[in-house]
């Protein structure tokens, strides 16, 4: 495992250096299946798609269903099917980067394979990671999967409009603050657009400042 991670890190450093030279911000979205990554991208493209030149890398075990949902935004999209692999790695990212004209991009969103464990361990060469979780998963995710929440530059808690769960917000926040006291937390509903303005303002600031 150490050898695998070392090889991955070497390639990630190459990817990061290339993207930095092209002034492209790469955002690695990590979540469980069904937390709402693709819907978040839909809402985000609707809001900032006219302000920035955006590309998408869609990682999934099989199918291009998520990519097809985003085709209406007319942005360059590349699908990586891992065929059973539980995460993307820096080598897979490096192989598809030539599919993009990096000189014509400001930001590259990577929708990683739905998984809170393996994707957190593999650096893709991203500028930063985002943790996307939902109330339907339970409030114990920061405590059970601390690595992601420790490394994420921001955390998005989705599906806050759903009333029929036993999700305990204060318990979630307590665990999160014990792991990463300063990380921004956005409480949102992608389907109803609740709380998204704060997210839009934040991500625009990140792109501009990088």
Considering only CA atoms, which of 58, 30, 57, 39 is closest in space to residue 154? 30
Read off the pTM.
0.95
Please count the structural domains in the chain: 1
Domain that holds residue 47: 2-209
Q: Give the CATH number for residue 49.
A: 3.40.50.300
pLDDT tens digit sequence for 18-62:
999 999 999 999 999 999 999 999 999 999 999 999 999 999 999
Spatial CA neighbour of 130 closest among 144, 110, 145, 105: 110
User: Which of 136, 128, 144 is closest to 202 using CA atoms?
Assistant: 128
């Amino acid at each position: 495992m150490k050898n695998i991670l070392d090889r991955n890190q070497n390639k990630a450093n190459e990817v990061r250096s290339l993207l930095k030279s092209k002034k492209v911000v790469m955002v690695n979205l990590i979540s469980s299946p069904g937390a709402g990554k693709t819907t978040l991208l839909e809402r985000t493209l609707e809001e900032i798609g006219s302000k920035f030149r955006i590309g998408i890398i869609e990682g999934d075990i099989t199918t291009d269903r998520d990519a097809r949902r985003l085709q209406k935004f007319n942005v360059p999209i590349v699908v990586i099917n891992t065929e059973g692999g539980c995460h993307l790695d820096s080598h897979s990212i490096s192989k598809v980067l030539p599919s993009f004209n990096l000189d014509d991009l400001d930001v590259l969103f990577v929708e990683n394979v739905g998984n809170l464990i393996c994707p957190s361990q593999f650096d893709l060469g991203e500028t930063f990671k985002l943790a996307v979780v939902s109330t339907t998963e339970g409030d114990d995710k920061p405590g059970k999967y601390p690595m992601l929440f420790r490394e994420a530059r921001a955390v998005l808690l989705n599906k806050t409009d759903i009333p029929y769960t036993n999700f305990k917000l204060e318990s979630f926040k307590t665990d999160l603050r014990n792991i990463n006291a300063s990380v921004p937390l956005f409480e949102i509903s992608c389907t109803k657009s609740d709380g998204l303005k704060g997210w839009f303002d934040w991500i625009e600031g990140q792109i501009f400042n990088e």
